[in-house]
Amino acid sequence: MVSSKLRHIEYVDSKGKETSRVVYVIHPVTDTMLALDLSEFDEEEQEYYTQELSRIDDMVKQEIAELGLRSNYRNFKKDRTSVL
């Protein structure tokens, strides 16, 4: 099964070097911030959700590290990227 998050891209770095990359998109390039809005909850609930989300985030990072991908995070600037 091919993932819809897998992309083949051409990227030009800050020095002008062009490279072909195969990337798994964690969050698509946008001008917006992806966030969970906790505004509707009181402070106690916000604290609970913050702790749980932090725990989940730590678990995901640990799983990624166990796959041997700890240092494979990259930020690709939108204006330097083209999808193949």
**pLDDT score at 2:** 57
Contact 82, 9 (CB under 8 A): yes
pLDDT in tens, 1-51: 556 777 888 989 889 999 998 888 887 777 776 778 899 999 999 999 999
**pLDDT score at 40:** 92
Q: Which of 49-53, 66-70, 80-84 has the lowest mean pLDDT?
A: 80-84
CA distance 68 to 37: 32
CA distance 31 to 10: 20
Q: Which segments within 36-78 are labelled E, that is strand?
A: none
Mean per-residue pLDDT for 63-80?
88
- Tell me: pLDDT of 73 over 80: yes
